[in-house]
Amino acid sequence: MSGVSFNEAILELPMVTLTIDGKKIEAPANTHVLQVALKNGIEIPHLCYHPELSVSGGCRLCIVEVEGYSQPVPSCGLACTDGLVITTQGERLYELRKNVLDLFISDHPLDCVICEKAGACLLQEYAYEYGIKETTYTPTISSTLYQDDNPFFIRDHQYCILCGRCVRMCDEIVGVHAIDFAKRGFETNIATPYDGPMIESTCVFCGNCVQVCPTAALMPVSRKDKGREWELDHKTTICGYCGVGCQLEYALKGDEILYAQASPDGPVNGELLCTKGRYGWDFVLSPERLTRPLIRRDLAYELGLTSEPWEQPDTSPLADRQPKIEDYFIPVDWEMALDLVASRLAATVNEHDPDSVVGLASARCTNEENYLFQKFIRAGIGTNNVDHCARL
Amino acid sequence: MTLEKLERMAQRERQRQEKFERRIFCCISTACLSAGAGQTINALQEAVDACHCKENDVEVVQTGCMGLCSRGPLVRVEDKSAETLIYADVDVDLSQQIISKHVPMRKLTDESIPEEMQELRENLKKARRRKRLEKHILGMDSPFFAKQEKIVLRNVGHLDPEKIEDYLAHGGYSALRHVLQNMTAEEVCDEILRSGLRGRGGGGYPTGLKWKSMHQEESETKFVVVNGDEGDPGAYMDRTMMEDNPHQVLEGMIIAAYAVGASYGYFYIRGEYPIAVDRIRRAIRTAHRNGILGKNVLGTDFNFDAAVRIGAGAFVCGEETALIHSVEGKRGMPRMRPPYPSTSGLWGKPTIVNNVETMANVPPIINRGADWYANIGTEQSKGTKVFALAGQLTNTGLIEVPMGISLREIVYDIGDDVPGDAEFKAAQTGGPSGGCIPHEHLDTPVDYENLSKLGSIMGSGGLVIIDSTTSMPEFARFFMDFCVDESCGKCVPCRVGTIQIRILLDKIIAGSGEPEDLNKLEDLCHIVKDTSLCGLGQSAPNPVLSTLKFFLDEYIALIPAQEPA
Ligand SMILES: Cc1cc2nc3c(=O)[nH]c(=O)nc-3n(C[C@H](O)[C@H](O)[C@H](O)COP(=O)(O)O)c2cc1C
Ligand code: SF4
Ligand code: SF4
Ligand code: SF4
Ligand code: FES
Give tens-digit pLDDT for A281-296: 998 888 888 889 999 9
Residues B502-529 have a mean pLDDT of 97
pLDDT score of A24 more than 90: yes
> H-type helices in B261-355, by residue range?
274-289, 320-327
Residues B200 and B126 in one domain: no
- Strand order of the sheet with strand B436-438? B397-402, B384-391, B462-467, B424-429, B436-438
Residues A364 and A332 in one domain: no
Q: Do residues A193 and A200 make contact, with C-beta atoms less than 8 angstroms apart?
A: no
B250 vs B189: CA distance, rounded Å: 17
Q: CB A118: neighbour CB atoms within 10 A?
A: 15
Q: Do residues A227 and A250 make contact, with C-beta atoms less than 8 angstroms apart?
A: no
pLDDT score of A64 more than 90: yes
Burial of A127 (0-12, 13-18, 19+ CB in 10 A): buried
In CATH, what number is assigned to the domain containing residue B276?
3.40.50.11540
> A365 in a domain, yes or no?
yes
- Cβ-based contacts of B500 with chain A (< 8 Å): 103, 106, 137-138, 140
> Which of residues B311, B339, B374 is at a domain's end?
B374
Burial of A246 (0-12, 13-18, 19+ CB in 10 A): buried
B487 vs B495: CA distance, rounded Å: 6
| % residues pLDDT > 70 (chain A) | 96
Residues B461 and B480 in one domain: no
pLDDT score of A334 more than 60: yes
* Least CB–CB distance from B500: residue in A56, A138, A180: A138
- Nearest Cα residue in chain B from A101: B492
Query: What is the extent of the structural domain holding B311?
Result: 171-374
For chain B, list residues whose CB is within 8 angstroms of any CB belonging to chain A: 314, 316, 331, 333, 335-336, 338, 484-493, 495-500, 503, 520, 524, 527, 530-533
Q: How many angstroms away from the CA of A264 is the closest CA of chain B?
A: 26
> Which of residues B119, B139, B159 is at a domain's end?
B139
> A57 in a domain, yes or no?
yes
Residues A39 and A57 in one domain: yes
> A30 in a domain, yes or no?
yes
For chain B, what is the domain count?
4
The SS3 assignment for B533 reads coil
Q: What is the pLDDT of residue A46?
A: 98
Of A310-324, B56-70, B213-227, minimum mean pLDDT range? A310-324
Q: What is the DSSP letter of B562?
A: P
Q: Please report which confidence band the pLDDT of residue A12 belongs to, taking 50, 70 and 90 as the band edges.
A: low
> A359 in a domain, yes or no?
yes
B380 vs A240: CA distance, rounded Å: 69
pLDDT score of B130 more than 80: no
Average pLDDT over chain A, rounded to an integer: 93
Q: What is the pLDDT of residue A3?
A: 43
Give tens-digit pLDDT for B17-41: 999 999 999 999 999 999 999 999 9
B32 vs B236: CA distance, rounded Å: 13
Task: Specify the pairing of strand A386-388 against strand A359-361.
Answer: parallel
B279 vs B283: CA distance, rounded Å: 6
B338 CA from centroid of ligand 2 (Å): 30
B158 vs B166: CA distance, rounded Å: 9
Of A246-255, B136-145, B315-324, B470-479, minimum mean pLDDT range? B136-145
Q: What is the pLDDT of residue A2?
A: 42
Burial of B376 (0-12, 13-18, 19+ CB in 10 A): middle
Residues B551 and B495 in one domain: yes
Beta bridge partners, B206, equal: B198
Q: What is the pLDDT of residue A392?
A: 65
> B144 in a domain, yes or no?
no
Q: Please report which confidence band the pLDDT of residue A61 belongs to, taking 50, 70 and 90 as the band edges.
A: very high
A317 vs A300: CA distance, rounded Å: 27
- Cβ-based contacts of A53 with chain B (< 8 Å): none
Query: What is the extent of the structural domain holding A334?
Result: 290-313+323-347
Q: What is the pLDDT of residue B140?
A: 84
The SS3 assignment for B1 reads coil
In CATH, what number is assigned to the domain containing residue A64?
3.10.20.740
Give tens-digit pLDDT for B266-298: 999 999 999 999 999 999 999 999 999 999 999
Q: What is the pLDDT of residue A391?
A: 67
> A238 in a domain, yes or no?
yes
Q: Which of B496, B517, B527 to mutate to test the interface with A (most CBs of A within 10 A)?
A: B496
Give tens-digit pLDDT for A164-201: 999 999 999 999 999 999 999 999 999 999 999 999 99
Q: What is the dihedral of CA A153, A156, A160, A162, to 10 degrees?
A: 70
Residues B175 and B278 in one domain: yes
Residues B29 and B95 in one domain: yes
Residues A341 and A359 in one domain: no
Residues B273 and B317 in one domain: yes
For chain A, what is the domain count?
4
Burial of A343 (0-12, 13-18, 19+ CB in 10 A): exposed
> B153 in a domain, yes or no?
no
- Cβ-based contacts of A104 with chain B (< 8 Å): 492, 496
Give tens-digit pLDDT for B48-76: 999 888 888 899 999 999 999 999 999 99
Higher pLDDT: A241 or A176? It is A176
DSSP letters for A25-90: EEEETTSBHHHHHHHTT-----SS--TTS-----S-TTEEEETT-SS-EEGGGPBP-TT-EEE---
- The dihedrals phi and psi of B122, each to the nearest 5 degrees, come to -60, -45
Q: What is the pLDDT of residue B106?
A: 85
A363 vs A373: CA distance, rounded Å: 12
Give tens-digit pLDDT for A111-129: 999 999 999 999 999 999 9
> A133 in a domain, yes or no?
no
Q: What value of ipTM does the predicted structure carry?
A: 0.91
State the number of CA atoms in the 13 A half-sphere of B312 facing the CB: 12
Q: Please report which confidence band the pLDDT of residue B565 belongs to, taking 50, 70 and 90 as the band edges.
A: low
> B160 in a domain, yes or no?
no
> A258 in a domain, yes or no?
yes
A184 touches chain B (CB under 8 A): yes
- For residue A354, CA distances in Å to A125, A348, A372, A387, B233 come to 64, 8, 18, 15, 85
Ligand 5 in reach of A74 Cβ (< 6 A):
yes
In CATH, what number is assigned to the domain containing residue A280?
2.20.25.90
Q: What is the pLDDT of residue B1?
A: 65
Residues B205 and B272 in one domain: yes
> Which of residues A89, A105, A136 is at a domain's end?
A89
> B448 in a domain, yes or no?
yes
The SS3 assignment for B303 reads coil
Q: CB A367: neighbour CB atoms within 10 A?
A: 9
pLDDT score of A332 more than 60: yes
Q: Is the dihedral of CA A112, A114, A118, A123 positive or negative?
A: negative
Give tens-digit pLDDT for B400-444: 999 999 999 999 999 999 999 999 999 999 989 999 999 999 999
CB contact under 8 A, B331 and A180: yes
Task: Specify the pairing of strand B424-429 against strand B384-391.
Answer: unpaired
B381 vs B290: CA distance, rounded Å: 36
A179 vs A212: CA distance, rounded Å: 14
pLDDT score of B310 more than 90: yes
Residues A338-353 have a mean pLDDT of 95
In CATH, what number is assigned to the domain containing residue B50?
3.40.30.10
Beta bridge partners, A146, equal: A156
Residues B486 and B365 in one domain: no
> B379 in a domain, yes or no?
no
Q: Which conformational region is residue A251 in: left (phi greater than 0), alpha (psi within -120 to 50 degrees), or beta?
A: beta
| % residues pLDDT > 90 (chain A) | 82
A234 vs B310: CA distance, rounded Å: 51
Residues A272 and A297 in one domain: no
B531 CA from centroid of ligand 1 (Å): 20
Residues B242 and B369 in one domain: yes
> A362 in a domain, yes or no?
yes
> B445 in a domain, yes or no?
yes
In CATH, what number is assigned to the domain containing residue B537?
1.20.1440.230
Nearest ligand, measured from the Cα of A57: 5
DSSP letters for B365-419: HHHH-HHHHHTSB-SSSBSEEEEEEEES-SS-EEEEEETT-BHHIIIIIIS---S
The beta strands (E) that lie in B102-234 are given as: 137-138, 223-228
B346 CA from centroid of ligand 2 (Å): 27
Q: What is the pLDDT of residue B313?
A: 85
Residues B258 and B185 in one domain: yes
Residues A28 and A83 in one domain: yes
Tell me how far apart the 2 most distant CA atoms of chain B are, in Å: 96
Q: Which conformational region is residue B369 in: left (phi greater than 0), alpha (psi within -120 to 50 degrees), or beta?
A: left
> Which of residues A58, A89, A120 is at a domain's end?
A89
Q: Please report which confidence band the pLDDT of residue A1 belongs to, taking 50, 70 and 90 as the band edges.
A: very low
Q: Do residues B395 and B212 make contact, with C-beta atoms less than 8 angstroms apart?
A: no
Please choose, from the candidates B196, B193, B151, B161, the residue with its C-alpha nearest in 3D space to the C-alpha of residue B364: B151
Please choose, from the candidates B247, B161, B245, B192, the residue with its C-alpha nearest in 3D space to the C-alpha of residue B368: B192
pTM for this predicted structure: 0.91
> Which of residues A28, A58, A89 is at a domain's end?
A89
Q: Please report which confidence band the pLDDT of residue A11 belongs to, taking 50, 70 and 90 as the band edges.
A: low
| % residues pLDDT > 70 (chain B) | 99
Q: Do residues B507 and B473 make contact, with C-beta atoms less than 8 angstroms apart?
A: no
> Which of residues B441, B467, B493 is at a domain's end?
B467
Residues B321 and B181 in one domain: yes
Q: Do residues B357 and B152 make contact, with C-beta atoms less than 8 angstroms apart?
A: yes
Residues A356 and A340 in one domain: no
Q: How many helices, marked H, and strands, marked E, lie in chain B? A: 25, 14
Residues B198 and B235 in one domain: yes
Q: Which residues contact A77 (CB under 8 A, 6 or more apart)?
A: A32, A55, A57, B336
Q: Which of A60, A132, A143 to mutate to test the interface with B (most CBs of B within 10 A)?
A: A60
A26 vs A21: CA distance, rounded Å: 14
Residues B331-350 have a mean pLDDT of 95
Q: How many CB pairs under 8 A join A and B?
A: 99
Average pLDDT over chain B, rounded to an integer: 94
> B81 in a domain, yes or no?
yes
Give tens-digit pLDDT for B240-260: 999 999 999 999 999 999 999
* Angle A131-A112-A48 from CA coordinates, rounded to 5°: 70
